[in-house]
């Protein structure tokens, strides 16, 4: 939700920079978009993070192909 809010604020700043012809507003919008890109978290848990002792078959296959 925070990502959507920050991206919409950034797009609003970029649009205002074209309307008012002030380039610094667009710069602020790009900075907000940059912050939004790096503060986004991936909350999706994988099977390996479930404190199991054994890795999943897909992870074992992926590891064996790289060697």
Query: 48: Cβ–Cβ under 8 A, 6 or more apart, which residues?
Result: 55, 56, 59
Please tell me the predicted confidence (pLDDT) of residue 62: 75
Please tell me the predicted confidence (pLDDT) of residue 53: 63
Per-residue pLDDT of the chain (67 residues; tens, 9 = 90+): 788 899 999 999 999 999 988 899 999 999 999 998 888 776 666 655 566 666 677 777 777 776 5
pTM across the whole model: 0.57
Please tell me the predicted confidence (pLDDT) of residue 57: 75
CB burial string 25-46: b at 16+ within 10 A, e below: bbebbeebbeebeeeeeeeeee
């Amino acid at each position: 939700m925070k990502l959507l809010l920050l991206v919409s604020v950034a797009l609003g700043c970029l649009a205002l920079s074209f309307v008012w012809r002030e380039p610094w507003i667009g710069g602020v919008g790009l900075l907000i978009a940059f912050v939004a890109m790096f503060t986004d978290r991936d909350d999706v848990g994988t099977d390996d993070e479930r404190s199991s002792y054994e890795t999943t078959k897909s992870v074992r296959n992926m590891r064996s192909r790289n060697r």
